[in-house]
Amino acid sequence: MPRVKMTVPEHLEMQITQMVERGEFLNREEAVEELLSTGIKAYKTSGPIDDEESGGFEGEGMMGHEDEYVF
């Protein structure tokens, strides 16, 4: 399997670590792979969101707050 090196914001890294610690994933690699796969599937299903349709939350978290993301 190809390897990918990436940098993520600290708050995302902390969320991934917490999911692994809670036993939702065996390790960080599995967590990142599953979360990326789920995100890609969701993207393919819904497609990209037009800026006009996004409600003006450009550059903010999914819930409209800078540090709030939902997986």
Q: What local confidence, expressed as pLDDT, does residue 39 receive?
A: 94
Contact 15, 24 (CB under 8 A): no
Q: How far apart are CA 39 and CA 34, in angstroms?
A: 9
Residue with more model confidence, 42 or 66: 42
pLDDT in tens, 10-21: 999 999 999 999
Contact 25, 19 (CB under 8 A): yes
Mean per-residue pLDDT of the chain? 79
Residue with more model confidence, 18 or 1: 18
User: Is the four-CA dihedral 50, 56, 61, 64 of positive or negative sign?
Assistant: negative
